[in-house]
């Protein structure tokens, strides 16, 4: 199944088109490390956002810390703006259980009280374990639990999706 996944660039363009009418001057884009940041960078450029891009590493908020410990490569979160009263567009690459988004929202609220949070994902692969749904999805698939969809970035910056 899904022997070939679609090219990423048209998916991101489609996402940007869907998001554009909903943007407010107060909207900030926040990508979740690592793949979500790549997608967020593209959206940030396509949508011509004036405010800087935010990045979030949710390692300190994961609910599986007590089972698997600290991720060996934690990256700093960087939110170079005041969150108070902002509309946040949270961006991730693949939406699966919803646990990453839960952790990301908890982290965001430790920086301040945003006016709203909306979720944009490149791929919604189903399999949710929490009451979370995307506001924007580039691609919606149904993938069995033992398979993984991965976004990777080549040396030239090109993004590709793979199923394993």
Binding site for other proteins (CB under 8 A): 57, 59-61, 65-70, 72-78, 106-107, 109-112
Please state the closest distance from residue 39 (CB atom) to other proteins, in A.
21
Closer residue to other proteins (CB): 17 or 109: 109
Please state the closest distance from residue 129 (CB atom) to other proteins, in A.
19
Closer residue to other proteins (CB): 78 or 152: 78
Exposed / middle / buried, residue 73 (Cβ in 10 Å: 0-12, 13-18, 19+): exposed
Q: Which residues contact 158 (CB under 8 A, 6 or more apart)?
A: 8
Please state the closest distance from residue 23 (CB atom) to other proteins, in A.
25
Exposed / middle / buried, residue 155 (Cβ in 10 Å: 0-12, 13-18, 19+): exposed
Please state the closest distance from residue 14 (CB atom) to other proteins, in A.
33
Closer residue to other proteins (CB): 63 or 87: 63
Closer residue to other proteins (CB): 49 or 60: 60
Angle, CA of 55, 46 and 16, to the nearest 5°: 85
Q: Are strands 54-56 and 87-95 parallel, antiparallel or unpaired?
A: unpaired
Closest-CA residue to 122 (of 149, 97, 146)? 149
């Amino acid at each position: 199944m899904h022997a070939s996944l679609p090219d990423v660039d048209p998916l991101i363009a489609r996402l940007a088109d869907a998001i554009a009418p909903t943007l407010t001057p107060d909207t900030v884009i926040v990508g979740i490390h690592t793949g979500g940041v790549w997608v967020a960078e593209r959206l940030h450029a396509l949508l011509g956002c004036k405010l800087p891009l935010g990045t979030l590493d949710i390692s300190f908020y994961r609910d599986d810390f007590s089972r698997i410990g600290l991720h060996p490569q934690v990256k700093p979160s960087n939110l170079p703006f005041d969150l108070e009263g902002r509309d946040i567009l949270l961006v991730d690459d693949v939406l699966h259980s919803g646990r990453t988004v839960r952790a990301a929202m908890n982290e965001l609220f430790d920086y301040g009280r945003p006016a709203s949070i909306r979720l944009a994902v490149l791929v919604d692969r189903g399999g949710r374990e929490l009451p979370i749904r995307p506001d924007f999805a580039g691609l919606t698939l149904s993938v069995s639990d033992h398979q993984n969809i991965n976004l990777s970035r080549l040396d030239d910056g090109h993004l590709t999706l793979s199923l394993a």
